[in-house]
Amino acid sequence: MTLKNELLPADRDELLNELKTRFEENTARHDGIEWAKIIARLEADPAKLWSLSEMERTGGEPDVVGFDKGTGEYIFFDCSPESPKGRRSLCYDRAAWESRKEHKPATSAQDMAAAMGVKILTETEYHDLQTIGEFDLKTSSWLETPADIRDLGGAIFGDLRFGRVFIYHNGAESYYAARAFRGSLRV
């Protein structure tokens, strides 16, 4: 029997193989980090492994992008070339979703991230992500929005155009077929 946020053994093995393959094919993202240490962490924390499976299931292609020496945690980001397909057409948060009178999206980016057990990338994390590759050349991704912007009804998102990262604003209730969110997970 598995708990709600725990994978079946066959699903766990399939996910670990996919993560290992991606890890080995993208060594520049995590120079000096050993897969054996990561897999030991993942096997010890089924809930985090489940969160990674949700990142994978929704098209995020999660990969290790760093190690936090202060906390001892490995950091995973969604590394799909474009915003994850299974998370597009979402407004920013629950308040924005509730403010829509009609044509509501299925859910919000914040609600989906919470259900997956991940956090939406911050502006700083998004800039960090763009130093290890080129992401969101045709799409955009919601970013964790500072409270002062959110209090005024806005939310921020980023993309990469013309060789540089752009951070923009939009009404938090807006949603687009080419905008999703990228998640982060610490293990």
pLDDT at residue 120, as a whole number: 99
CB 29 within 8 A of CB 55: no
CATH of domain 85-182: 3.10.100
- Cα angle vertex 25, ends 79, 9, to 5°? 80
User: d(Cα 66, Cα 121) in Å, to the nearest integer?
Assistant: 14
pLDDT at residue 2, as a whole number: 45
pLDDT at residue 11, as a whole number: 93
Cα–Cα nearest to 63, from 133, 156, 136: 133
pLDDT, averaged per 10 consecutive residues of the chain (187 residues), comes to: 72 96 97 96 96 98 98 98 98 94 93 98 98 98 98 98 97 95 99
pLDDT at residue 135, as a whole number: 98
What residue segments make up the domains of the chain, in order of their start? 9-78, 85-182
User: d(Cα 110, Cα 70) in Å, to the nearest integer?
Assistant: 26
CB 83 within 8 A of CB 178: yes
pLDDT at residue 6, as a whole number: 82
Q: Which amino acid, residue 92?
A: Y
- Please list the residues that pair with 59 across neighbouring strands: none
